[in-house]
DNA sequence: ATCAGCCCTGAATAGTTGTTCACTTCTTCA
DNA sequence: TGAAGAAGTGAACAACTATTCAGGGCTGAT
C-alpha cells in the first residue's frame, strides 16, 4: 500500500464529522427536525451531499447521533446540578430547574429532539435517551421518598409526567410568548418548578423555598 | 338547469364526507398521523383518490377537520364531567380525569392529534383546538382558586403543564406498557390525576379523596 | 515525480405521496 | 327517453428528498 492515513488526515476527518453534526444541530435549532435535510446540512458544513454519507450511513443515523449528543449534555448537566445540592429535595429541585433552563435555552432544538416527527429508526435512539433522563429524575424522586420527604409513589410515572409538564409548558406550542425576556423566563422556570415539586408531594410552603434555592445557581446556565 | 340536487343526493354526499373523515380517523388511530395518506384513506372510504378532493380541498384541510372533530368531542366531555361535579375542586378533578381517560381510550389517535408531525397549515388549526382545551382546564383551576381551594397562580401555564403531564405520562413513548389491562389503566389514571391536583396546590390528603370521587364516574367512559 | 488508494463531488436516480384532469358514470327533469 | 350537468374515477403528473455512483482530485509512500 502506498497510502496510509496520516495523523493530520485523521484529525481532518474528525473535524469534518463534527462539522456535519454541528450543521445538523444548527439546522434543527433554527427550523426543527424538519429542517435537517441532507442537502442543506451539507451546505452548512461546506461539503457535498455525498460526503455526508461517507460519515453517516443514513440520515436516521445522523439524527440519532445528534439526539444522543444533546441528550448526553443535558443528562450531565442534570447530574451536576443535582449532585451539588445539599439534600435529596434540593437535588430534585435542582434537577427539575436544570431541565427547564436547558430546554428553554434552545427551544426549537429541544422541541425537535423531544417530540418532532422522525422515522422509526430514530425513535428508538430517541427513546433510549429520554429514558435515561427520565430515569435520572425518577432516581432523584426516589431518593427524596426514601429520605421521607415525599409520599411513596410510582416514581417512573411521576418522572415522565414531570418532564411532560416541563416540556409542554415551556417549549410546546402553547408555551407563553415572551420567554426571551429574562424576567419572564425566570418566572416561567420558577412557576413550572413549583408545579413539579408540588406534584410529587412537596408541601406548598416548602416547595416555594426549594424553588428559590434551585433557581439561583441555575441562572448562570441561562446564558449558555 | 335540468339538474338540481335532490334531498337524497344531499344525504349521500354528507354520508360520503363523513365516511372519508371516519376513514381518516381510523387510519390515524391505527398508525398515527403519518398513516393518514390520501390513497389509503380513499380505499378505506371506498372512493377513489380524486373523490377525496371533491370533499376536502387539500390533505391539510382534511386533517384539520379531523382534529377539530376529535377536539370538539373531548372538550364537550370535559365540560360535561366538570359541570356535573359538586364543587370547583371536584370539577377540576373530573376534568383532569376525563382528559386522562379520553386520551387513553385512543392512544395512537391522541398522539397524532396532539403531537405528531404536520405541516404549518394544520398546526394552526391544531393549536386553536388545544388552546380551547387548555383554556377550559385553566378556567376550572381559576374557579378553584377563586373559591379559596388553591393558591393563586398562573392558571394558563398550570393548565398547559397539566396537559403536558397527562399526555406524556399516558400516551407518550415513555408511557407504561400494559395499559390495556383495566386495573393498570385505572391505576395510571389515578396516579396522574393525583399528580395533577397536587401540582396546582391541592393538599395530598384532600387530593386523594378527590381522585377517588372523580375516577368512579369516569370509569364508564373507558369502554367508549 | 509518480501512482495507488482514499476522499470528495454533485448530477442522476429512485421512492414516496399530494394533487390534477380528461374521461366515465350517474342523477335529474323536460 | 334524452340531454344537461354534477359526481366519481384513477392513471398520470409534480414536487420533494434521501441515496447512489462514476469520475475528478488530493494524499502519502516510494
How many other C-beta atoms can be found within 10 angstroms of the C-beta atom of residue A60?
17
Three cell numbers, residue A100 = 427547564
Cβ-Cβ contacts under 8 Å, B123 against chain A = 173
Please report, rounded to whole angstroms, the spatial distance between the CA atom of protein residue A125 and the C1' atom of nucleotide D26: 36
Q: What's the Cα-to-Cα distance from B170 to each of A37, A160, B1, B130, rounded to whole Å?
A: 31, 9, 57, 17
Chain C bases under 7 Å from protein CB? 3-12, 17-22, 27-30
Tell which A residues from 7 to 36 touch B, by Cβ distance under 8 Å. 34
**Could you tell me if B126 and B80 are in contact, meaning their C-beta atoms sit under 8 angstroms apart?**
no
Nearest-by-Cβ selection for A157 from B123, B160, B176 = B176
Q: Alpha helices, DSSP H only, in A37-106?
A: 38-44, 49-55, 59-83, 88-105
- Own/partner long-range contacts of B129-135 (Cβ < 8 Å, ≥24 apart): B129/B67, B129/B68, B129/B71, B129/B72, B130/A173, B130/A174, B130/B71, B130/B163, B131/A174, B132/B71, B132/B75, B133/B71, B133/B74, B133/B75, B133/B78, B133/B99, B133/B163, B134/A174, B134/B159, B134/B160, B134/B163, B135/B159
List the pLDDT tens digit at each of the 224 positions of chain B: 667 778 888 999 999 999 999 999 999 999 989 899 999 999 999 999 999 999 999 999 999 999 999 999 999 999 999 999 999 999 999 999 999 999 998 888 988 888 776 777 777 888 889 999 999 999 999 999 999 999 999 999 999 999 999 999 999 888 888 777 888 888 899 999 999 999 999 998 777 888 778 777 766 555 44
**Distance (Å) from the C-alpha of residue A169 to the closest C-alpha of chain B?**
5
Which pTM does this prediction carry?
A: 0.91
Distance CA A128, CA A115 (A): 14
Taken in order B215, B219, B222, B224, the sign of the CA dihedral is: negative
How far CA B137 is from CA of A7, A60, A141, B79, B89, in Å, comes to 61, 38, 27, 9, 12
Give yes or no for CB of A178 within 7 Å of strand D.
no
Instruction: Return the axis-axis angle of helices A182-199 and B155-170, rounded to nearest 10°.
Output: 50
Dist CA A143 CA A114 (whole Å): 26
C1'-nearest nucleotide to the CA of B35: C17
Task: Give yes or no for CB of A6 within 7 Å of strand D.
Answer: yes
Amino acid at each position: 500500500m502506498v497510502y496510509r492515513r496520516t495523523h493530520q488526515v485523521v484529525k481532518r476527518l474528525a473535524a469534518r464529522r463534527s462539522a456535519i453534526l454541528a450543521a445538523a444541530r444548527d439546522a434543527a435549532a433554527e427550523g426543527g427536525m424538519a429542517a435537517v435535510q441532507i442537502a442543506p446540512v451539507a451546505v452548512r458544513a461546506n461539503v457535498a451531499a455525498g460526503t455526508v454519507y461517507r460519515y453517516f450511513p443514513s440520515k436516521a443515523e445522523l439524527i440519532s447521533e445528534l439526539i444522543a449528543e444533546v441528550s448526553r449534555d443535558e443528562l450531565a448537566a442534570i447530574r451536576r446540578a443535582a449532585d451539588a445540592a445539599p439534600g435529596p429535595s434540593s437535588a430534585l429541585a435542582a434537577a427539575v430547574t436544570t431541565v427547564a433552563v436547558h430546554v428553554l435555552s434552545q427551544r426549537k432544538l429541544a422541541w425537535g429532539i423531544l417530540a418532532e416527527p422522525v422515522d422509526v429508526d430514530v425513535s428508538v435512539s430517541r427513546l433510549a435517551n429520554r429514558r435515561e433522563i427520565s430515569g435520572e429524575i425518577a432516581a432523584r424522586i426516589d431518593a427524596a421518598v426514601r429520605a421521607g420527604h415525599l409520599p411513596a409513589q410510582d416514581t417512573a410515572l411521576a418522572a415522565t409526567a414531570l418532564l411532560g409538564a416541563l416540556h409542554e409548558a415551556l417549549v410546546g406550542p402553547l408555551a407563553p410568548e415572551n420567554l426571551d425576556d429574562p424576567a419572564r423566563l425566570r418566572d416561567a422556570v420558577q412557576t413550572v418548578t413549583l408545579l413539579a415539586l408540588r406534584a410529587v408531594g412537596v408541601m406548598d410552603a416548602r416547595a416555594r423555598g426549594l424553588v428559590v434555592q434551585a433557581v439561583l445557581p441555575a441562572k448562570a446556565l441561562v446564558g449558555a
